[in-house]
Amino acid sequence: MFEFRRQPLKAVYTLYFAVSIFVRLPIWVVASLLPAMRPRKAWTVSRTLFIWSIDAYVRSFYKVGFPVEPVLEGGPDVTGFVWVEPIPEDYVVGEIKTMADVNGVKPERICGYWHGKKGADGKFGQRAEPGERVLYVLHGGGYSMGSGGSKDDILSSPYTICIPRRSPDIFQRSFGLEYRLSAAAPLEPKNPFPAVVLDAVAGYRYLIEDRGFEPKNIVVFGDSAGAHLGIALIRYIILADLPNLSIPGGFMALSPSCDWGDTHNDGSPQCSVVANKNSDFVHAIISNGYTSRCLLGSLPPEELETNAWLSPSSLRLKKPEGVFKGFPPTLINAGGTEVALDDKRMMRDRMIKDCGEEIVTYLEYEDAAHDFIMFRFLEPERTQALDDIHNWLLKIFSE
């Protein structure tokens, strides 16, 4: 893993990877032209090629390192860059404090990015107007890559999904948190769990205490690992009883990664890790265990399977009842071809048991892959999911 991260081997492998794609592409084209060879018969040739290409691209990260956008310290105003101050030490309590002590994690100053409506002075980050709502975004990336900023390329983003084009009647701006990314050997280890939780709490506190948003007017949005972080953030708000911090008005969990212990993978053809291994592009992230080691730090390995903070959908939790007790209205979005589909269904079942069916909206799109909503041309599922999100938001804010 990461054996080609240094020059000149990095350049050599990158060239090899680029050439190999051109070699494999004709083979993929021939295979995708035959419906029986596609991971899903309903998939088009273009979708098949796209998923296989993205899968190969993601696998390459574990050879040369991750694409990480730099923090734009004091960058152009168009980024909406702001500093977020660390939470006070006395905000770190309970099980989170225990894990923080084991891993030597402390609250630190981080940053974030505003998108959408600017203030009267033409700058981002103005205080909330009375009754104003905000989308609080926790990005995905397996805790080892990604950014709270947004770039307009083949990927879409929560910013373009929900504001201002899609749901201007609900949100006029959003705030993306640049939480600390993690790393594990053979890279220099850094920021193990619960560093991200301390950062997420700091961002939430910033929105409430510094920008003046009411908790009921904040919707937490997380995709993939960001959705897992959203779960941890809301659980912590509920359990820690922190000053001025109550639960948000809603939670959107898109393709949540809820079982870093991989307990649903029993090797049988029926489990989603096996059944969908050729129809998703994050199999490498799950199978190599790198993110799990990033999160663990100095915690015992069994914590991945038995600790609800790390794996709330694990089959081996000591006490699965009550993990989601007290959660706000929650939308869970999943693709039917995801390798980790089983843990998303488990999150649904446990949340319904803890909170009731009226709190949980679970939407599964049969032929969609992981985080499909972020890719503009994965249609028609993406447009359907956007409509479903908009209708859900209208519903929770009309009640």
- Report DSSP letters for 297-311, one per residue: TTS-TTHHHH-TTT-
Residue range(s) defining the domain that contains residue 376: 77-264+288-396
50 and 96 in a single domain? The answer is no
Strand positions, DSSP E, the chain: 81-84, 110-116, 134-138, 173-178, 218-223, 250-254, 330-335, 360-365
Residue 160 located in a structural domain: yes
Most confident of 33-37, 149-153, 209-213: 209-213
Place of tokens 């446990």: 350
The contacts of residue 90 (CB under 8 Å, 6+ apart) are none
| Chosen domain end from 42, 65, 88 | 65
Could you give the number of structural domains in the chain?
2
User: Distance (Å, rounded) from C-alpha 333 to C-alpha 80?
Assistant: 28
Q: What is the pLDDT of residue 146?
A: 86
Residue 71 located in a structural domain: no
102 and 34 in a single domain? The answer is no
pLDDT digits (tens, 9 = 90+) for 5-31: 888 989 999 898 889 988 999 999 999
17 and 121 in a single domain? The answer is no
Pairing of strands 173-178, 110-116: antiparallel
User: Distance (Å, rounded) from C-alpha 86 to C-alpha 199?
Assistant: 7
322 and 355 in a single domain? The answer is yes
CATH, residue 260: 3.40.50.1820
Phi (first) and psi of residue 148, to 5 degrees: -80, -10
Which residues are paired to 251 by β-bridges?
220, 330
Residue 21 located in a structural domain: yes
Calculate the alpha carbon distances from 193 to 163, 298, 311 in Å: 31, 9, 12
Element at 278 (helix H, strand E): none
Of residues 190, 155, 161, 176, the one with CA closest to residue 72: 176
Residue 283 located in a structural domain: no
Residue 253 located in a structural domain: yes
181 and 229 in a single domain? The answer is yes
| Chosen domain end from 15, 45, 65 | 65
User: Distance (Å, rounded) from C-alpha 88 to C-alpha 57?
Assistant: 40
130 and 239 in a single domain? The answer is yes
2 and 51 in a single domain? The answer is yes
217 and 305 in a single domain? The answer is yes
Chain centroid to Cα 166, Å, comes to 20
170 and 208 in a single domain? The answer is yes
Is the pTM for the entire model greater than 0.85?
yes
pLDDT digits (tens, 9 = 90+) for 267-321: 999 999 999 999 999 988 888 899 999 999 999 999 999 999 999 999 999 899 9
| Chosen domain end from 65, 87, 106 | 65
Binning pLDDT at 50, 70 and 90, where does residue 236 land? very high
Q: How many CB atoms lie within 10 A of CB 14?
A: 14
61 and 190 in a single domain? The answer is no
91 and 185 in a single domain? The answer is yes
pLDDT digits (tens, 9 = 90+) for 27-42: 999 999 988 899 998 9
